[in-house]
Structure 1
């Protein structure tokens, strides 16, 4: 037996009337007559074989079946509307250049770019994975349409969006022997980027304020180099846990607390292109899937 097909326009009338708490207001918003709205509701009742509304005082309220249908109606309309948005997005063309921190290069990029390419096959993407300073320069000079950078809260760009906050952590190899020597009696071996680096500055500032001795045993121009040196047990570093290799752990053994760091999207344009905004949206969704406990800022 062939099942009837619910009328999406009639379902939209039902949902709108409930949202506005008035089917007369729904008629105005949907640009229909009150008689047309009434006809659509009766059509739904005929299709389902159940009454949807009953009188309550001067108004109408949903029956238990009407409540049930409303839930399905909202889901069906959401899927319908998403489909039409995706059709428009699918036709989007252009080019977008984006810069990302090395922290996001491995785990975030592959999945996010695959998702973006499927949704926007006609958009060409250029990617630069680099340190903060290079990304900020790319935005300033207009070479990058969009860049994700770490900030201490201060932002200078034509457009920006605060995405999330992550705590900075002291990070060592899982093979590190515990307990560590008390930091007051032994200089902490640090593995860091050279200046200028927000992580380096935060670590040294906290150590100096707490009169803890430290020494830089290695510097690197790449995050991969820092991770490798820490994995080998040469010392500790300070990063967020974003992109941290599985053989490393974060600790707080008699060490001063570190501040949170803000992840910010910057653009060289006052109003970023649709392609840049679409890519930024996909990256955010992928980020929060990978790190659901991050401090999201919507």
Structure 2
């Protein structure tokens, strides 16, 4: 049986990620004609067309989609093998921070990825409020942090884009004739700011009904039916429900969660782990 060419598969993945042959050529440091020839050879090898024209753009065929999934898997295995053989095993302690909102969702998958590629690492996990974690990161008290707060001073890689929604308890009865009772985080909070801006811009009256320094307290107030809060969709469960345009509430912006690495990294372990995560996300098709 013949063998697939990894460089051709890498080019296929780059075309899909950058959405054109020309952009992939720039990213890979090749000419556009060389990229086209690679895909022609790959199609000949597979025996099926990988792209079809839709309007002015080329999109993957069914066979192209199936091959792309295999390509990403094969490239990830190849890159991991090279990293392990060239760099050896990473040993030491890595300090990672995550906000309460995603400690049950994004953090476990991130930790699994770190341990899978670097099983000898000892992980020191810090869960807290996002602004305080970012301060700890800048002070060098932790090495990496997940955050939905944009920060141009820090280097980061996108993990996920998450919708922000209006949440209330399952039994909460919304009365549009009265000021909206808001459940807020006390102190700095991006969700508090987004909620206030959205309500004020929409001309809706609201009042602070309950404040808490923790997500546990906010969820308790929601379940008790005390009011409404703006939060990531990850917080939705059977005891909560989403309010929206039908209740007269304005839309809320999505938030981008990034993994940030601390500035002026001295320890090569931190840099290597961060680059491994960045590479894995790149070949998984994340932005």
TM-score of the superposition, structure 2-length normalised? 0.66
Of 167, 174, 186 in structure 2, the residue corresponding to residue 171 of structure 1 is: 167
Of 256, 261, 269 in structure 2, the residue corresponding to residue 262 of structure 1 is: 256
Q: How far does residue 83 in structure 1 lie from its aligned partner after superposition?
A: 6.1
Match of 1:100 in 2: 98
Tell me how large the CA RMSD over aligned residues is. Answer: 3.9
Match of 2:82 in 1: 85
CA distance in 1, matches of 2:259, 2:241: 27
Match of 2:179 in 1: 187
For residues 206-221 of structure 1, the aligned pairs below 5 Å read: 206-221=198-213
- Contact 1:145/1:268 (8 A) holds in 2: yes
Name the SS of the counterpart of 2:218 in structure 1. helix
Name the SS of the counterpart of 1:117 in structure 2. helix
For residues 21-60 of structure 1, the aligned pairs below 5 Å read: none
Q: Which has the larger radius of gyration?
A: 1
- Relative distance call for 1:93 and 1:279 in structure 2 (3 A) is farther
Q: How far does residue 115 in structure 1 lie from its aligned partner after superposition?
A: 4.8
- Relative distance call for 1:135 and 1:281 in structure 2 (3 A) is farther
Q: Which runs of 5+ in 2 are unaligned?
A: 13-39, 49-66
Name the SS of the counterpart of 2:183 in structure 1. strand
- Contact 2:114/2:273 (8 A) holds in 1: no
Of 222, 227, 247 in structure 1, the residue corresponding to residue 239 of structure 2 is: 247
Q: How far does residue 259 in structure 1 lie from its aligned partner after superposition?
A: 2.2
